[in-house]
Copies of this chain bind each other. A is one copy, B any other.
Amino acid sequence: MTATAAPEHHDRTVDDVARRAQEVFDSLSRTVPGVRAAALRGAATALADHADELVALAQEETGLAEARLRGELKRTQVQLRLFAHVVSDGAYLDVRLDEADPDFVLGPRPDLRRSLWPVGPVLNFAASNFPFAFSVAGGDTAAALAAGCPVIVKAHPGHPRLSERTAEIVAAALTEAGLPEGTLQLVASQDAGVALVEHPAVRAAAFTGSQRVGQLLAARAAARPDPIPLFGELGSVNPVLVSAQALHERADELLGGYVASVSGSAGQLCTKPGFLLVPEGTDHDDAVAHAAVQVPEHRLLNPSIADGYERRVAQVLGVDGVRVVHAGGVRRGDAGDPGSPADGAGQAWVTPTFVAVPLDLLRRAGEALLDEVFGPFSVIVEYPDGTDLAAVVAELFPGNLTLTMHLGERESSEEQAALVARLGRHAGRVLLGGWPTGVAVTPAMQHGGPWPATTTDGTSVGTAAIGRFLRGVAFQDAPQELLPPPLRDDNPWGVPRTVAARGESLGW
């Protein structure tokens, strides 16, 4: 069991790491916003300065393509910079000031000043499929640091050397910018991760990965003497609904876009469209097969994911009535494979597979068809004319990160507006056109939805992600000099504040 933010920490125990985070919290939570924002920007710059080294390591450990990894590293820098803006702006503190009010309708009201504060040390389980953006310096880390929480990252075993190097680079940048040493720590083993979920010093955990592991960790977090939240992002099948008119208007564009969205990063994305719902009686096989056959072979992240992919694909293909539209392949590598280092054995290179089923078969087959397949595989579902698509979603796909609806040019009616509103109950993001893969890192992003998409209704992408690591504290009748800066009359940090004025209840 090792924990490293810098080489000298290799012999630290889990308890040392947790206690260190708790100690650090004391000073970190007192840092002014400018210092925290500068530290986040410093981390982004440090990542950029080491891009070549980090991307090479990531390529080797994950098999993801260089262009994708460079884009992901850039996204990771942007996430850190975006949260630097969030910290400087201060709106996330949700500062509320109630003026003391002798005439309040329920009797004299005290002076009350509330804002949001960091919860304490945060444990962040890194994901396999985003070695930068959902890993050591990824979105959960950026959000927690922005909130003022020390972060302990449990590295993903799929990219251990990259994790360690990223932690070294980022921890050094944070320290150089004036944050306390130990603000970002890394642990490597699964045992350490589980032990930390149960450690009293840890106040919240974030996890991106499988439903099985997420449920296990959530159960541990809930069974503590003092339960903590586990913010899990556990899986999503991201149905894409296509109207007859849309398919009629632009079949090739739609079906080509679908194949590209399923196949990118070998389908190892949480927003990959697992199902495409099209009207029955339309011809789509040829266009899908035509696009699919042009997708080049791509390595899966690791042998364990390859095993799971092969198992799930075989399970779907074993369901009676499933029609294969395009059969992709899985080729197992060996140690000598070109482009594969010593660990090539057991790795798998894949091309995408597409199948089609009638809607009623999907209903009858249940989990065998409905559960997520992590990899370049998707199911085309043929629905009868007159199907209430929102009802299908509610019945078969109740919880998703995304739902996408492709309508025809002039199909925007009140009926469609009601359909879109109902879709919003079953996903965090509803797209009208386009494809769900590719998640914008912006204030209005929502990356989280009803179970099993996420364990809570928070988001792990976009600036609202900071809310998971904050808690409200109100100060009542405190003298100015005892108040935290954002609550003082002179507002030294210049944060936006909402004031409930004296006398406002007189008209109630």
Contacts and interface: CB of A to CB of B under 8 A. Distances in A.
Interface of A: 26, 29-30, 71, 74-75, 78, 81, 91, 94, 96-98, 104-107, 109-110, 112-114, 117, 119-120, 218-219, 222, 226-227, 229, 398-399, 412-413, 416-417, 420-422, 424-425, 427-434, 440-446, 448, 450-452, 455-459, 462, 464, 470-479, 481-484, 498, 500, 505, 508
Nearest to A81: B508
A183 to B, nearest CB: 17
A112 B445 contact: yes
12 contacts: A106-B440, A112-B444, A112-B445, A227-B451, A412-B481, A412-B482, A420-B475, A429-B473, A432-B475, A444-B474, A444-B500, A445-B474
Contacts of A71: 106-107
Chain multiplicity (copies): 2
B421 A98 contact: no
Contacts of A229: 456
B457 A472 contact: yes
A320 B498 CA distance: 51
B457 A98 contact: no
A8 to B, nearest CB: 29
Contacts of A109: 440, 442
Given A96-B464, A218-B222, A432-B479, 12 more contacts: A71-B107, A78-B106, A78-B508, A97-B444, A112-B440, A112-B444, A229-B456, A429-B474, A429-B475, A442-B500, A444-B474, A457-B471
Given A30-B421, A119-B457, A412-B481, A218 B226 contact: no
A71 B119 CA distance: 35
Contacts of A481: 412-413, 417
Which 10 pairs from chain A and chain B are nearest by CB?
A457-B471, A446-B474, A112-B444, A114-B444, A96-B444, A226-B451, A432-B478, A98-B444, A431-B476, A446-B472
Among A30, A78, A446, A484, chain B packs the most CB atoms within 10 A around the CB of A446
A221 to B, nearest CB: 10
A392 B464 CA distance: 35
A112 B442 contact: yes
Among A71, A425, A500, A505, chain B packs the most CB atoms within 10 A around the CB of A425
A37 to B, nearest CB: 13
